[in-house]
């Protein structure tokens, strides 16, 4: 397997990157303005410090992604372990991945976010003994379905205030329109629930990423601008990456009249 791993770095130590097997070709985007020295098989790019990992991922798609060169592409923050304690185990089991593969377990799972009971119950996505799961969330409240998340509520309030939205509006559909992704916005507007990988840590098959980039290339520059416009926008992407790549939203059955 030939895999590109895209690393969004600021000031985090990334010694773990040096330990990757030869399956992986790392490309590190560094926003710390430091000069780093790497072995020959590594690539490093310096980027402006804007837009969090969303800006990094989109920059890669627009400027450095080469369709057909790799079998899969992994996207990760430079310190994936808080969100994905078994990250390196998951990388070792890449032959068991789905075409759209989450690679994290929670927000701060070792500190109770999500709650321990939630993590004990949701094991169906594990790969062997490597812990991994997607979180289900409401497109209207931006919050996980299974537990109270004060951080998500704060993001929702800031986004609604910045965009003049009323409580209960479909936030996913609104944000996707802001990104110029009209078809995906329409799909979100007819749905209620999405799924995401905490920390925006995930992998996609090359064909999946190629389809997204080829279909939406005119919009990617617009989406890059969205990451820079407001800090709150950069936080919104985490919940939508898997859907960008083609994971369908979920519509709940209509209630009885």
pLDDT band at residue 180, thresholds of 50, 70 and 90?
very high
pLDDT of residue 37: 63
Task: Answer whether residue 249 is part of any domain.
Answer: no
Task: Answer whether residue 257 is part of any domain.
Answer: no
Please give the tally of structural domains in the chain. 1
Q: Whole domain around residue 44: which residue ranges?
A: 3-244
Task: Answer whether residue 105 is part of any domain.
Answer: yes
Q: How far apart are CA 56 and CA 29, in angstroms?
A: 7
What stretches of 182-257 show up as alpha helix (H) in DSSP? 182-189, 206-229, 231-236, 241-244
Task: Answer whether residue 252 is part of any domain.
Answer: no
Mean residue pLDDT of the chain comes to: 91
- Pick the more confident residue, 105 or 235: 105
Task: Answer whether residue 121 is part of any domain.
Answer: yes
For the cut 50, the answer to whether the pLDDT of residue 5 exceeds it is: yes
For the cut 80, the answer to whether the pLDDT of residue 34 exceeds it is: no
3-state secondary structure of 242: helix
Q: Given the structure tokens 């507007």, which residue do they identify?
A: 189
Q: Which of 76, 102, 99, 62 is nearest to 20 (CA)?
A: 76
Query: Which sign does the torsion angle of CA 127, 208, 50, 219 carry?
Result: negative
Q: Among the listed ranges 11-15, 133-137, 246-250, which one has the minimum average pLDDT value? A: 11-15
Q: Which residues contact 205 (CB under 8 A, 6 or more apart)?
A: 71, 72, 99, 100
pLDDT of residue 256: 45
pLDDT of residue 244: 97
Task: Answer whether residue 72 is part of any domain.
Answer: yes
pLDDT band at residue 128, thresholds of 50, 70 and 90?
very high
pLDDT of residue 257: 36
Residue 222, token pair as written in the block: 């617009």
Task: Answer whether residue 250 is part of any domain.
Answer: no
Q: Among the listed ranges 116-120, 137-141, 155-159, which one has the minimum average pLDDT value? A: 155-159
Task: Answer whether residue 170 is part of any domain.
Answer: yes
pLDDT band at residue 169, thresholds of 50, 70 and 90?
very high
Q: Which residues contact 9 (CB under 8 A, 6 or more apart)?
A: 28, 29, 30, 31, 32, 78
pLDDT band at residue 110, thresholds of 50, 70 and 90?
confident
Q: How far apart are CA 201 and CA 198, in angstroms?
A: 7
For the cut 80, the answer to whether the pLDDT of residue 156 exceeds it is: yes
pLDDT of residue 134: 97
Q: Among the listed ranges 1-10, 39-48, 198-207, which one has the minimum average pLDDT value? A: 39-48
């Amino acid at each position: 397997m030939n895999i590109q791993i895209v690393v969004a770095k600021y000031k985090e130590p990334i010694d773990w990157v040096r330990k990757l097997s030869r399956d992986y070709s790392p490309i590190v985007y560094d926003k710390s303005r430091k000069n780093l020295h790497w072995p020959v098989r590594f690539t490093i790019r310096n980027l402006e410090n804007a837009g969090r990992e969303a800006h990094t991922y989109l920059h890669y798609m627009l400027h450095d992604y080469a369709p057909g060169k790799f079998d899969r592409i992994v996207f990760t923050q430079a310190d994936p372990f808080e969100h994905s304690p078994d990250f390196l185990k998951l990388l070792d089991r890449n032959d068991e991945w789905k075409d759209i593969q989450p690679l994290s377990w929670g927000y701060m799972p070792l500190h109770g976010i999500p709650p321990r009971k939630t993590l004990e119950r949701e094991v169906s996505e594990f790969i062997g003994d490597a812990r991994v799961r997607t979180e289900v969330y409401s497109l209207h409240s931006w919050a996980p379905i299974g537990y109270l998340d004060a951080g998500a509520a704060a993001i929702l309030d800031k986004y609604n205030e910045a965009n003049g939205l009323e409580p209960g509006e479909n936030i996913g559909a609104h944000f996707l329109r802001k990104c110029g992704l009209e078809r995906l916005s329409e799909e979100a507007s007819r749905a209620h629930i999405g799924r995401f990988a905490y920390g925006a840590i995930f992998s996609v098959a090359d064909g999946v990423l190629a389809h997204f980039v080829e279909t939406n290339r005119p919009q990617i520059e617009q989406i890059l601008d969205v990451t820079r416009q407001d800090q709150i926008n950069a936080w919104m992407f985490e919940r939508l990456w898997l859907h960008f790549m083609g994971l369908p939203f979920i519509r709940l059955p209509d209630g009885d009249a």
